[in-house]
Chain A
Amino acid sequence: MFSPRSRLATGTVVALTATLGLSACGNKDGEGTAAESCVDTSGDSIKLGFLNSTSGAMAISEQTVRDSLSLAAEEINADGGILGKEIEFVTEDGASDPAIFAEKIDKLLTGDCVAAVFGGWTSASRKAMLPVVEANNGLLFYPVQYEGLEASENIYYTGATTNQQIIPAMDFLASEGVESLFLAGSDYVFPRTANKIIKQYAAELGIEIVGEEYVPLDDDDWTTQVAKIVEADPDFVFNTINGSSNVGFIKAYYEQGLTAETNPIISVSIAEEEAPAMGKDVTGQYAAWNYFQSVESPTNATFIAAFQDKYGAERPTSDPMEAAYTSLYLYKALVEKAESFEVDDINESADGVTFDAPEGTVTIDGDNHHIAKTALIGQINSDNQFDVVWSSESPIEPDPFLEGYDWWDPSAE
């Protein structure tokens, strides 16, 4: 039975939301805008939101993403904008705090009425933004490799999911004849999930896991754990440590006599930005990504030249920066294919949208909103650049839930 009071309440909420939406947008034509979208597409510009941490612990990484987003926006504008509209970007600081990310994306979507938001770095920040962007039927472009097991209608993931980084890294190790592997990670969601996948795939590949150690993110002393690596003497170490803890790990590793020749490390979070900060010569160690500055292609050469021209010749380019740069171009391609800025229209025609990115041609999967990417393994050279030593034969189709891998059992320990 309908209670009149609840119907009244619903009506009030709808009216209120509509009013708020209208007043927040300042739609001068007075056209009735739907409550869920207040994006103004009537002018010659389109508003986009760049939400990155420019303060707090993540600022050093996320500022690089902001820089490459700004570069992409500038380039697109110089080339005529998106559907003839100039990009007008609104920037917000996520302050390295998931709660602030949630608050700011709400402000961008409902207050500034941006057509799409670009940013986020940690999985915690993405998880905090997800319900907000879904509730507002907005769009978020997330540019960082992550632990997978997620696919939102309202998020496009332009970094790697696990089957484009972790699993290819394991394939590389198998091709190198690795028989024993030691897992070292920071104690939070990404390393724990990644290692769960690694352990199951290792069993499939016949690689023995000879140890698994986690250290809290704020603890940099790896001495005791590295002693266990010395004892286990693995063929390779799989490193999912994040942040400054990597410095302590690498120092302890060399201190106790391990080397890239005897027990090499493969990392998934050491890139061109981080390698010089290790305080140790990390030459010879490996990393798994989908982009390296050293990738040789005309598109990448143009990207690096444009980036260094704008921000300085000493600035390296790295995987998340490239994924962010690519995300804005993919958005442009999505909108132009849909001939609309409406989220539903974009999603409908998303499948197969491609962009000739610095990492190579990438293609959107319309079902899971991830992109097909080529997996690369790089070896650090003495200039702190990565020499590509292995790559997947072709771009790998994204499979965030690992449905195509029959060894994967999400419920197993």
Chain B
Amino acid sequence: MDSFTTPLLAGTATGALLLIAALGLALTFGQMGVINMAHGEFLMAGAYTAFLTQQVVTNADVSILVALPAAFVVAGLLGLLLEVTVIAWMYRRPLDTLLVTVGVGLFLQQLAKDVFGAQGDPVRTPSWLEGNLPVFGYHWPYRQMFTIVLAVVALAALAALLKYSSFGRQIRATVQNRDLAETVGVRTRAVDRITFFVGSGLAGIGGVAVSLISGTNPRLGTAYIISAFLVVVAGGLGQLKGTVIAAFAVGIATSFFADWTSASMAQVATFALVVVFLQLRPQGLFTVRSRGLA
């Protein structure tokens, strides 16, 4: 059972982390068409927020609960800043945003190195996440379960926001047909900004979850950004359910490949699998049928 439960459960947790990272991208890339390569650095910002929170709230049991909303706000504000100063000037120019945000990402990494040092800082795990639950021979860490819970909560909150709130309806309207939305009085620029804030903030929450795995370091986001894009593209643009399925599929597949071969080979194998899948189904798992999306 070990060789099945271990990769399955560990892979689900990896998938959950990918999902949190990809949800924000699904919003900004999937719904707004912005390729934000600095999204990984918003994860890093979230991780450093977790570290800084522990310097203020020294009780690790409590600080993680403070860090989650704090990281959402910090990463969200960073995203907002990026949107207002850079991205707003290049909507519908995806290649330009790609290049510029790669630069912004490198800038943020160097900034973190200069401020916090290159070595990275430790983030203490709260005592209620210490330990593990034996499941068929796998000592399933509570931390992994927490990541899954976090992903489910983030997903539910985002889905509810999009579906039931008036703000969510405005986002969907703007995405589907910006001109028409404007004519019925939706302030699309404001909607853009808030969408970017929420999408980036989700990355901040993901960063807190990552900090529990390995502490902080300036390059932390780079390991996730490519996989997160892979998930969004494989899942199909403009639909959250595709992202969800793709995130868990990629996480679990990587984990199984790692179990059968090695961690390095697993990345190659997963990438190859997604490439083959996109050959067969270039639009991803699900797409929105709408004239608003080119």
Contact = CB atoms under 8 A, between A and B. Distances in A.
Interface of A: 55-60, 187, 213-216, 218-221, 223-225, 227-228, 230-231, 244-245, 247-248, 251-252, 254-257, 273-274, 276-280
A248 B7 contact: no
Nearest to B254: A224
A216 B263 contact: yes
A252 B141 contact: yes
Nearest to B138: A227
Given A231-B6, A280-B122, 4 more contacts: A224-B263, A244-B120, A252-B213, A256-B132
Contact of B14 (A59, A60, A221, A225): A221
B47 to A, nearest CB: 11
Given A223-B13, A245-B214, A56 B118 contact: yes
Q: Which of A57, A58, A60, A279 gathers the greatest number of chain B CB atoms within 10 Å?
A: A279
B143 interface: yes
Contacts of B189: none
A255 B132 contact: yes
Contact of B122 (A58, A59, A213, A279): A279
A220 B264 contact: no
Interface stretch (B19-27, B123-131, B284-292): B123-131
A4 B145 CA distance: 78
Contacts of A227: 2, 6, 10, 138-139
Contacts, number: 117
A251 B13 CA distance: 15
Contact of B267 (A216, A245, A278): A216
Interface residues of B, number: 42
A228 to B, nearest CB: 8
30 contacts: A58-B118, A60-B117, A60-B119, A213-B262, A214-B262, A215-B263, A218-B222, A218-B223, A219-B267, A220-B214, A221-B14, A221-B214, A223-B14, A224-B7, A224-B10, A224-B255, A225-B263, A228-B259, A231-B137, A244-B215, A247-B122, A247-B215, A247-B217, A251-B212, A252-B213, A255-B141, A256-B132, A257-B139, A273-B119, A279-B215
B59 to A, nearest CB: 16
A279 B123 contact: yes
A219 B263 contact: yes
Interface string B211-228: 011110101101100000
B53 interface: no
Given A221-B213, A224-B259, A256-B132, A214 B220 contact: no
Contacts of B172: none
A251 B213 contact: yes
B144 interface: yes
B121 interface: yes
Contact of B144 (A59, A218, A223): A223
B178 interface: no
B102 interface: no
Nearest to A216: B264
A244 B214 contact: yes
Interface in B245-276: 255, 258-259, 262-264, 267
Contact of B2 (A231, A245, A254, A276): A231
A277 B120 contact: yes
3 residue pairs, one from A and one from B, having the closest CB atoms: A279-B122, A220-B214, A248-B214
Nearest to A255: B141
B193 interface: no
Nearest to B114: A55
Contacts of A277: 119-122, 215
